[in-house]
């Protein structure tokens, strides 16, 4: 497993440095992801942002994305899909080179602003198993939503 920058031509923020995810402590399970630009989110609204980071995973690994607890508790922000799921075949996909994105939703009653470079979510790499009668033979053809709704 490794995090790396998305190919330059497919970066959403080409002229900004990319901070690769890091663990805050040696016993942290989650890798913190950073905002690429300032965001302001009104109550009941959502904002999408790419990280310009991709993750190479083994075939039997998945990257799970969660809002940082301090962001959820203090800012009343959450990931719009609850938990993000990054499959191994998302890496280097033809649409966005595996660029990991997030949609933040403000479920609170106040406008929330977060600054470029702030830690927003954390990713945890998990091994998974498939059932012994699994027959999946599909092949990913792109980025978000490419495997169906």
- What would be the CATH architecture of the domain defined by 2-123? Distorted Sandwich (2.70)
Q: How far apart are CA 35 and CA 103, in angstroms?
A: 11
Tokens of 42: 């009104």
Mean pLDDT of 100-106: 98
Q: How confident is residue 144, by pLDDT bands cut at 50, 70 and 90?
A: low
Paired with 50 in beta bridges are 101
The answer, yes or no, to whether residue 87 has pLDDT greater than 60, is yes
The answer, yes or no, to whether residue 138 has pLDDT greater than 80, is no
What pLDDT, in 10s, does the model give residues 1-15?
999 999 999 999 998
Q: How far apart are CA 144 and CA 91, in angstroms?
A: 12
The answer, yes or no, to whether residue 103 has pLDDT greater than 90, is yes
Model pTM above 0.75: yes
Mean pLDDT of 65-81: 98
């Amino acid at each position: 497993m490794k995090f790396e920058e998305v190919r330059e031509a497919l970066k959403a923020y080409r002229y900004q440095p990319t901070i690769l995810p890091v663990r805050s402590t040696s016993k942290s399970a989650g890798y913190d992801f950073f905002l690429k630009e300032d965001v302001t989110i009104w109550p009941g609204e959502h904002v999408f942002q790419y990280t310009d980071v991709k993750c190479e995973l083994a075939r039997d690994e998945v990257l799970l994305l969660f809002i940082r607890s301090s962001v959820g508790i203090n800012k009343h922000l959450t990931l719009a899909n609850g938990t993000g799921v990054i499959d191994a075949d998302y890496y280097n996909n033809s649409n966005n080179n595996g660029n990991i994105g997030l949609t933040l939703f403000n479920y609170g009653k106040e406008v929330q602003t977060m600054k470029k470079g702030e830690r927003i979510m954390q990713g945890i790499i998990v091994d998974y198993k498939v059932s012994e009668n699994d027959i999946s033979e599909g092949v990913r053809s792109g980025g978000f939503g490419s495997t169906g709704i």
